[in-house]
Amino acid sequence: MAKQRDPVLDSMRGIGIVLMVLGHSGFPGTGFIYLFHMALFFMLSGWLFSLRGGLVHFAKRKVVTLWLPFVLANTAFTVLNNLFLRLNILTGDERILALPGNIVTTPTTLKDIIGRTAHWCVFDGGTQLGGALWFIQALFQISILYAVVEFLLQKLLRGGDTLIAQGLVS
């Protein structure tokens, strides 16, 4: 039987998405929105957190849903780098190069693709076009850390309520 969706959580996600769009569109309240919009998404992830299936199952799920898309997207951007340079999607413009992660303005070789993909595998940086994927890296790391803490607290407290202990650890 399919799990029933919670309209309150769906509404909170919708509000978060609208706030994110407003924040990235130059809305006058962007500074205020940036105070909490990403925290809202992370808190919703925590609210929906479950270790059902165990720690290993949870970690495998996060590898498939967060790590793999991050690696594949940045690798695809690297493979397409030379085309992007020809189309002026990537540029040597100094204003853009001053932004973190924007260092690729020369053609890539097969060696570059392999080396950079190895870096993506350990979340070391990202591509100029993949810079918007920073939250995937953060969500993956926080999810795994939280899962390990929850797993250890469950073992220590023998399956008791871990909420207070989580608050103390936080």
Structure tokens at 110: 């097969």
Q: Who wins on pLDDT, 133 or 92?
A: 133
pTM listed for this prediction: 0.73
Task: Please tell me the predicted confidence (pLDDT) of residue 97.
Answer: 63
Q: Count of H helices and E strands in the chain? A: 10, 0
Task: Please tell me the predicted confidence (pLDDT) of residue 114.
Answer: 92
Q: Given a cut of 70, is residue 145 above it in pLDDT?
A: yes
- pLDDT tens for 44-61 read 877 777 888 999 999 999
Residue pair 117/108 in contact (Cβ under 8 Å)? The answer is no
Residue pair 119/104 in contact (Cβ under 8 Å)? The answer is no
